[in-house]
Structures are given as C-alpha cells and as structure tokens.
Chain A
C-alpha cells in the first residue's frame, strides 16, 4: 500500500489528501449540525410540550363540582383531526382526548414516566414526540400527556442539510481545481531543477540555481554538493589515470628500445613476441589515455573555433611532416557549440595525420551541421584503402595496415574510441579525391546556434 502510495504522482497524493480532508471535515460538520439540531429540537419541544401541558391544566375547570375541560380555552389545533397536536388527560378514572387524535390510539401502553420524552410513530406518517406530566388539580392527581408532530421540522432540516452538502461539494470542486493550479505552480521549481540537471549533464551549466523555495533548498544544495563531489572524484580519477598512463610511457619506451637491441637479433621469434607484447601494452595505454582525457562525459567544454583551430592543426602537421599539402577547407561559417576543442583536435589531428602520410597533394577538411548531428570529414587523394574489410580493420584496436609507414597505426582507432565516447560513429569510405574518406558523426546533444 505504502509503495503504491509513494509511486503516485504528487498531484494525485495532494488531491487525494485534500479530498479526504474535505470529506472528513464535511462529514464532521454535517454530523455536528445533525446533533446540534436534535438537541435544539428536543429542547424546543420539551419546552413547548411543558407549556402546552400547563395550558391544558389551566383549561381544566370545575363545573358543578366536577372537573371539566374548557374547550374554548384550548388551542384550536387540538380540534382539527390529525393536526399533529394531541393530548390525553387522565384524571381519577376519567379521560379526555383531543379531537385531533380522531381514531388514533396514542396511549396504547402506559404513558411515559413523569417529564420523560418519548418518540412515537404517529398516524399518517407523522412522528410524534410525547411527554406526560403529573399535576395536582382540585385535590386530585392529573396525568396530562401531550404530543406534537415533528416531521415537518425534520423535512425542513433535511432540505437544509442537502443544500449544505451541495454547497460543500461545490467548495470541494473549487478547492480541487485551485489545487491543481497550485500544485503546478508549486512544482515549477522542481521542473526547473530537472531542466537544469539536464543542462548540467550536457555541460551547459555546472550546478543548479539555489534560488528555490525554502523547502527545496536543502535538496538542491545536496544535489549541488553531490555534483561537486562527483566532478571532483571524476577529475581526480581522470588525473590519476592520466598520470598513471604517462608514467608508464617512458618505461615502455625503454622496453621498446631494449627489444630492438642487437643482442636479441639472434632470437628473432623471441624478439618478435616481445615487440608484439610491448606494442600491445603501448597501444592499450595510448587508447585508455585518449579516452581518459576526452571531455565526452565531462562538464567543461573548451570552445572549438573550427577555422582557427583547424588551420593551426594543419600548420602543425605541415611542420611535423615537413611537407605542404593543398588543404581544401569546408569549415567556413560553421558556428560550433557543444563540442570540445581538445577532442575535436584529437579527432581531426589523428585523421589528418593519417591523410598527410598518404596524400599526394590534396586533403579536404569538412565540418557540417546536420539536423541532429555534426558531420566531420577528412579526405585525401592518396591510394586509399580499397578493401572494405581492411577499412574495418583500420578502426580496430592497434591495427596497422602498412608496417612500412612510420607511426603506431593507432590514429584511426583512437578516433573511433573518442567518437564512441560521444555516442557517435566513424566510417571509412572512398573519397571523390581518390583516397580515403574518414567520416565522423557526432550526435548533437545540445541546442546549437547555426547560421
């Protein structure tokens, strides 16, 4: 039950709660009114009945020494048949009945004890309240029983009760409606916090705004603390992983050089195996580092300026490779938002490095916005990779298609790793220039301003 309750929407919980409260309150008020009415009515009736008894008593007169009821002195309602006002007077074996009783036998049993009220179903659906009083008159004991029909009063009361209930339901409806609106308003800060969390996830924001209602403030500041903590530990483990990876690289470089020693030339199989293992460790370290340093799941993106950054990269490649290529730029007018500079340089750097190795004279660099992703492409006019299976292999771990060209052959595999961390895709195609085309699709995770 409590689990079902907890999973109900807050709005339903509040609605149900309010409904329950209002219904209980309504029922309580109704009950209170009812009880109050009963008591009021009883009080009134008691008073009235006693007065009537006393008036009847004064209507008893002596005529010729015999007690007699003076008809003229009693209420005419007693004379109308079944009027709702009745009496029975008993005195010394004699009995006077009001004419209104007609054929109804009010006192089938003994009259109630002195002063006690009694309810009695009356004639023609009437509800009678009757009371007997005992008096002394003319030196004799007189028992006067009067009764009055309270059914009309009851009907009146019930009508009032229905009207009240109707009014109450109306109020309840209004309250529920008001609460829907209010809940929406009251939950707005939570909705805002939710969209801010999304922004944090996408790196547009570092924390949640703390300008929230007092009740939410502890929650928001806890979330902010948690974000801060997570960011800190992510950063620490990333730094630790980075340091670890970098610390491994120099000993690995020593190992790679040791393996190449001429003493081992006599054991070519052993040497090849050692080299293979060193290469495999080195490749692994390289790729893990590339991922650890990627900003894909980090919160801080360094802005990427395509024209400036890519031209800097091309200048660096031209210097490192010692040859100038014709670079065709298809990057102008692209306003890139939400991509990290360092990661994009890593993607373009590795792809262009590869292109630079193979191109005859021309490479093409493209970045283009698509509706839900970025398209990054690097093409060259080199020999390309003719075999489709080889293209797949080039993206795999540590694959190297041509041992004769310098480099670790990890470039495209590292590109694939980074792109994967962003949830994107890399594919290799045949370029219109004749060589290889590296196509990268990076999902657009946030609203980007385009021109």
Chain B
C-alpha cells in the first residue's frame, strides 16, 4: 500500500514514518501543500494522511483539488483543528476520515486499516478474509486452521495488497509502486521473489501468473 503523508511537523513525521512503514505501508512524505497538490499525478497512492495547516497551500484546498482532479484514494485528515464544524468542512471537501491531534498511534493505524478496507469494499474487522484466506493485520500473519503462519514485513505488504485487490490483474511495476519504498527495495526481481515466497505459504494456486501481464490473486477455492 503506497501512502502519502503530508505533514509539516518534522518531529511528528519522524515518528509516524517508521510506524507506518512497520504497518506495511510504502510511504512518501511531503511538507508543502503545493508539492502535495501535484503528488498524486506523479505516483499512484492507495491512501493519504493529510495535515490541514500546511505551508504553501491549505490542506482543505489540496484535498478539494485532488478530488476535482479525479483522485479517489481515501484521505485521512490529521489536524489540530478538530471541532465538528471543521470536521464537517473536511469531510465535505472529500476527506474520508478525520483524526484530531493528539492521537494514539494505534488509533491512526486502525483508522487507516479501516479506510483501506472500506475503499476496497472489504468488511471491517480485526482480520481480513478474502477468497478463503484470512490475514491478521495486527499480527501480520496468515490464519489457518492449523494456526498462524507468520509473514515477513515484505510478504505481508504484498499479500495485503493482493487481498485488497482480489481477482484484479496487477502488473509487476504496479505491485512495486504500491508495496515497496522507492529507495530501499526496488529491484527488478523483488516482486518475483516475494510472490514465490507467498506461494510457499499459501499454496501454488493462490496467486496466478499471467505471462507478460502480471499477477492475479485468486485465493483458495474450497
């Protein structure tokens, strides 16, 4: 999941980025509203965390501009201004959720997870179950009748992305963009490596390969 964090407090971003990465998000961080305005045109984001008091351009304006430009990814507004009148204005401008500062780190994680599920029309709950496979997002593990099968961080990100886009054909570069951070993990064969590792844990048929096109998550058919 590629996440865009727009936050002008360096200290807060410094705290949030490692946490978000450990939750399995590939994160980009921007400070200025004007940069944020153009960002979704450059990269394809799955979700954004947006502060409202930004230098350059107000968060609400950025949000409204994103929506006007047709970007539909869920946006969680993270702000100190959290009266209900502000919230209504934010949600009206196109936000999907609104979290007032200060917040508990766990709450942000839960809200982001819920937003992603919603945007992919998956039912809410502690576990994500798609096409016969159950993923515990907190434990970052696959739940099976025999017990939990734990996943590495990279495997978890990839599987969650597959599970939130079930039955959809996903190209290799698309997977790279949404799952891995630009700098650290982009190597040509990283997707192949992790897909094969997931197949070891889920069974060969869970992820189909379409030659020259990419991969498609089909799960375990009963």
Chain A residues engaging chain B, CB cutoff 8 angstroms: 245-247, 249-258, 260-261, 278, 282, 286, 290, 293, 312-313, 315-316, 319-320, 322-323, 341-342, 345-346, 348-350, 406-408
Flag if A342 contacts B85 (CB, 8 Å).
yes
Task: Tell me the smallest distance from the CB of A408 to a CB of chain B, in Å.
Answer: 8
Describe A's contact surface by its main secondary structure.
Answer: helix
Chain A residue contacts of B66, Cβ below 8 A: none
Contacts A322-B115, A345-B88 given; indicate if A254 touches B9 (C-beta within 8 A). yes
Flag if A313 contacts B107 (CB, 8 Å).
no
Flag if A316 contacts B92 (CB, 8 Å).
yes
Flag if B91 contacts A406 (CB, 8 Å).
no
Which listed residue (B15, B53, B107) contacts A407, Cβ 8 A?
B107
Chain A residue contacts of B124, Cβ below 8 A: 322-323
- B169 at the A interface (CB under 8 A): no
Task: Tell me the smallest distance from the CB of A281 to a CB of chain B, in Å.
Answer: 9
Cα–Cα distance between A245 and B95 once the two chains are bound (Å):
24
Chain B residue contacts of A313, Cβ below 8 A: 84, 88
Q: How many residues of B contact A (CB 8 A)?
A: 34
Cα–Cα distance between A341 and B118 once the two chains are bound (Å):
31
Task: Tell me the smallest distance from the CB of B78 to a CB of chain A, in Å.
Answer: 8
Taken residue by residue from 98 to 128, chain B's Cβ proximity to chain A (1 for < 8 Å, 0 otherwise) reads as 1011111111001100110010000010000
Flag if B102 contacts A255 (CB, 8 Å).
yes
* 6 A-B pairs in the complex with CB atoms less than 8 angstroms apart: A249-B100, A253-B102, A257-B16, A316-B87, A407-B107, A408-B100
Flag if B88 contacts A312 (CB, 8 Å).
yes
Counting chain A CB atoms within 10 Å of each CB, the highest count among B80, B91, B92 belongs to: B80
Cα–Cα distance between A23 and B84 once the two chains are bound (Å):
70
Cα–Cα distance between A157 and B152 once the two chains are bound (Å):
128
Chain A residue contacts of B95, Cβ below 8 A: 319
Counting chain A CB atoms within 10 Å of each CB, the highest count among B9, B95, B100, B115 belongs to: B100
- B12 at the A interface (CB under 8 A): yes
Contacts A257-B16, A341-B85 given; indicate if A278 touches B107 (C-beta within 8 A). no
Flag if A260 contacts B106 (CB, 8 Å).
yes
Cα–Cα distance between A257 and B15 once the two chains are bound (Å):
6
- B211 at the A interface (CB under 8 A): no
Contacts A316-B92, A320-B91, A322-B124 given; indicate if A253 touches B84 (C-beta within 8 A). no
Task: Tell me the smallest distance from the CB of B172 to a CB of chain A, in Å.
Answer: 31
Chain B residue contacts of A278, Cβ below 8 A: 102
Which listed residue (B101, B104, B114) contacts A249, Cβ 8 A?
B101
Residue of B nearest to A245 (CB): B80
Flag if B80 contacts A246 (CB, 8 Å).
yes
Cα–Cα distance between A407 and B84 once the two chains are bound (Å):
14
- B193 at the A interface (CB under 8 A): no
Chain B residue contacts of A316, Cβ below 8 A: 84, 87-88, 91-92
Task: Tell me the smallest distance from the CB of A343 to a CB of chain B, in Å.
Answer: 9
- B81 at the A interface (CB under 8 A): yes
Cα–Cα distance between A312 and B93 once the two chains are bound (Å):
13
Flag if B104 contacts A260 (CB, 8 Å).
yes
Cα–Cα distance between A293 and B100 once the two chains are bound (Å):
15
Cα–Cα distance between A255 and B97 once the two chains are bound (Å):
22
